Structure 1
């Protein structure tokens, strides 16, 4: 068995991450600080690869960094019971269900908006643009929670 020694670019390539993401995860204390070479290069090993793969899998499931941090804490204490893991995942499932409901409502709103302009005409007469401009008709609480990314 050979010891795997990787520079940050090699770790990024092996895990499908960007160098910036790896540095960010280090700053967020999700990845342990790597050792340094004599030339002051970051040196990563198999443990970094596995941990980064775990983090990326959690991110692919739309988990927040705080949720991932909690899961990593559980993972780092294997003698603990997994009740907290179950609770975290149950809460995340609830969040996903809420988000699905929001997205379905968004789809209905977009379809209704799209139905306002069924023919090509001047933008001045465009029902979609007029509908978007009439924000007075919309309860601000119904504008959704989408903010472009993380929850």
Structure 2
């Protein structure tokens, strides 16, 4: 288990890895070797998606990718969502373990449930842990405000 930082806001609780970058679209990026990044959904993203049933990739190994490009899709009971690339370079591979156990994405979002690997550079919009915690605070507060307006 990587070193983590405890995070809690309202009813959302998680442990965020300290050695990752985070995208504003709730992906984490961890450099597994120089220039090679493992990417996955944050716990917040998996909670918004609900139960995940399938992941598909539109890119083949070695295919060039750009930041913001759609590289695959993920299907959950709540919705089908595009998976966007959060780096520029070459698509290395999707996580082969997800073919046997898709629930890893939700059960182990920061370890065994990673989505894909890329060789290249993270998007300039990627942020460190402190900035991501602030982004989560703002996002969760907005959700709570919206819920209060709908209930009141």
TM range (shorter): under 0.3
More strand by share: 2
Structure 1 or 2, whichever has the larger Rg, is: 1
TM-score, length basis structure 2:
0.26
Flag the structure with more relative contact order, 1 or 2, with Cα contacts below 8 A and sequence separation at least 6.
2
Structure 1 or 2: more helix by fraction: 1
TM-score if structure 1 supplies the norm length? 0.27
